[in-house]
Amino acid sequence: MSVNLPRPTYTKTASHVPGNCHTPSSGQAAWYPPVMAGADTLGAKVSRAETILQALVLMQRLSPDAYTTYLKDFYSHGLERFESHWRYADIVTVLLCLADALQPRNYLEVGVRRGRSAAAVASKAPSCAMALFDMWQPDYAGMENPGPAFVTSELKSIGYQGQASFIDGNSHQTLPRFFAQNPNVMFDLITVDGDHSELGAAQDMCDVLPRLAVGGALVFDDISHPLHPELNGVWQTLVVSDDRFSAFSYREAGYGVGFAIRKY
Contact positions toward ligand SAM, by CB under 6 A? 91, 111-113, 116-117, 133-137, 140, 145, 170-172, 193-195, 200
Single-letter amino acid code for the residue at 131: A
Kindly tell me the sign of the dihedral angle through the C-alpha atoms of 87, 92, 94, 100.
Answer: negative
Ramachandran bin of 261, using left for φ above 0, alpha for ψ from -120 to 50, beta for the remaining angles: beta
Residue nearer to ligand SAM on the CB measure, 107 or 245: 107
Residue nearer to ligand SAM on the CB measure, 60 or 137: 137
Question: Which residues fall within 8 angstroms of residue 23, CB to CB, at 6 or more apart?
Answer: 34
Q: How far is the CB of 75 from ligand SAM (least distance, A)?
A: 14
Q: How far is the CB of 165 from ligand SAM (least distance, A)?
A: 14
Single-letter amino acid code for the residue at 254: G
Dist CA 158 CA 116 (whole Å): 11
Q: How far is the CB of 173 from ligand SAM (least distance, A)?
A: 8
Q: How far is the CB of 49 from ligand SAM (least distance, A)?
A: 21
With vertex at residue 41, the alpha carbon angle to CA 208 and CA 253, rounded to the nearest 5 degrees, is 75
Measured in degrees and rounded to the nearest 5, phi and psi for residue 21 equal -130, 145
Residue nearer to ligand SAM on the CB measure, 191 or 246: 191
Q: How far is the CB of 111 from ligand SAM (least distance, A)?
A: 3
Question: CB of 258 within 8 A of CB of 240?
Answer: yes
Q: How far is the CB of 87 from ligand SAM (least distance, A)?
A: 20
Q: How far is the CB of 262 from ligand SAM (least distance, A)?
A: 21
Q: How many CB atoms lie within 10 A of CB 79?
A: 16
Question: Which residues fall within 8 angstroms of residue 36, CB to CB, at 6 or more apart?
Answer: 20, 21, 22, 215
Ramachandran bin of 186, using left for φ above 0, alpha for ψ from -120 to 50, beta for the remaining angles: beta
Measured in degrees and rounded to the nearest 5, phi and psi for residue 152 equal -60, -40
**CA count, 13 A, side-chain hemisphere, 66:** 7
